[in-house]
Structure 1
């Protein structure tokens, strides 16, 4: 069984985000970039499935500018067998990414497509659902546990919902998006980092995949959220109720 994992290059989670002076976006020049944390979890799960004998190959996929190759090298160092880079210099939004993934799935024929539930830069949480819809595959989103049964060709997914946990059974091929509590991603060791340099990264373009990139979204302005005002100490319940009613207008 082959598993395909989509990974995204984002601003590192520890970096303080700065908005550009013209408010057209966030500053990415000379900023540390890394693999999206949810994508790391998806890749780790694919590697664990392979190590348990449930898969024969793990293919990592990333889309974006040439720098995405560095993120793919990290994925290869973690243990992915090979990688595909969809070279596109501009911005890609969830529907375009889903169309590209659909084309890659049709070419590679994986039995399982794993994605992080969302990216920490745009927080869209849409790509997995969209690609499942385009492929007409069953989907298990927000997965906190994944169990595969190769004989029956099904995947049992515990997914986190507002009320707790929901268990769904998916016939393969399927799409699964991963949540934080699924696993703890491994670190890439130095020997594996060196080995990753010799692993294959295939480069394609959306045109090669016969995918037309067209955005239905326009970023009008990016602004920082308003700074939170300092709190005040009240001397009585009556004063608290008065402030909540007349100043905060929440009651």
Structure 2
């Protein structure tokens, strides 16, 4: 079974800074991690490889420092990692990102299953996975929280607001996964050491290494228009109520009535 996983390196902080000129996040000096739902996708891919055999390839689009995330992906069980990195990709919205990743995936080969996390914590759009599937002309199942592979078919539990539906389709297929599908493993010490010793476990591709339409890349080609960006602030402060338990309850009820909560 040939499996590919899309991962993204995201800021590991709530204290974000924003470039006021183009509305994008400033990532310099901010600690980074693999996007949590992408790590769930990677765990499921490695689990399927262990069960059915095959190969797991991980692809990411980002700056050179995203290699750190790919080293962790290799340590978790990936066989090969690809970093799509070029200044031409900077500022891409979901449309330009999905196009670029889809072109990279085409260059990487043919895959039975492509895994993506449902969404990234720095954008929360849940658009890139489905857009990749559309670019590849591939069927997709989103919000996967349970998965079985039987021969050439996959059967997925797709989460709904009030339960789940069961969807079955033939491979190849793209799946976006959510929390609850599995619990990602910790990388073994052996794999961590191997990741830093194996120099060729990460391939870096620029626009010279795979076929792309330069007019569809980066900020200038992104149709999303950012109206405004800001860092949320918490202006309300907590209040401690004085008195015994009965007095505190009475004061709390008064305040809730004033706020028309009760």
Question: What does the per-residue CA deviation read over 1:138-159, in whole Å, with 9 as the maximum and x for residues that have no partner?
Answer: 2111111111112xx1100101
| Post-superposition offset of 1:238 | 9.3
| Post-superposition offset of 1:206 | 3.8
Q: 3-state SS of the aligned residue for 1:181? A: coil
- Give the Cα separation in 2 of the matches to 1:238 and 1:192: 60
Residue 216 (1) aligns with residue 223 (2): yes
- Give the Cα separation in 1 of the matches to 2:17 and 2:8: 21
What CA RMSD, in Å, does the superposition of the two structures yield over aligned residues? 2.5
- Give the Cα separation in 2 of the matches to 1:83 and 1:239: 56
Question: What does the per-residue CA deviation read over 1:123-142, in whole Å, with 9 as the maximum and x for residues that have no partner?
Answer: 11001111222222221111
The number of equivalent residue pairs is 241
- Give the Cα separation in 2 of the matches to 1:84 and 1:27: 23
- Give the Cα separation in 2 of the matches to 1:80 and 1:88: 23
Residue 116 (1) aligns with residue 117 (2): yes
Q: Summarize the alignment of residues 33-48 of structure 1 with structure 2, pairs less than 5 Å apart.
A: 33-48=32-47
CA distance 1:20–1:92, change in 2 (3 Å): closer
Q: Structure 2 length normalisation: TM-score?
A: 0.82
Which is richer in helix? 2
Residue 137 (1) aligns with residue 138 (2): yes
CA distance 1:237–1:187, change in 2 (3 Å): closer
Contact between 2:58 and 2:73, CA under 8 Å: does it hold in 1?
yes
Q: Summarize the alignment of residues 27-106 of structure 1 with structure 2, pairs less than 5 Å apart.
A: 27-53=26-52, 55-89=53-87, 90-106=90-106
CA distance 1:147–1:239, change in 2 (3 Å): same
CA distance 1:47–1:236, change in 2 (3 Å): closer
Structure 2 segments unaligned to the other structure (5+ residues)? 240-248
Q: Summarize the alignment of residues 233-248 of structure 1 with structure 2, pairs less than 5 Å apart.
A: 240=256, 243-244=259-260
Q: Summarize the alignment of residues 108-187 of structure 1 with structure 2, pairs less than 5 Å apart.
A: 108-150=109-151, 153-187=152-186
Query: Paired residue for 2:2?
Result: 2
Residue 225 (1) aligns with residue 226 (2): no
Q: Structure 1 length normalisation: TM-score?
A: 0.86
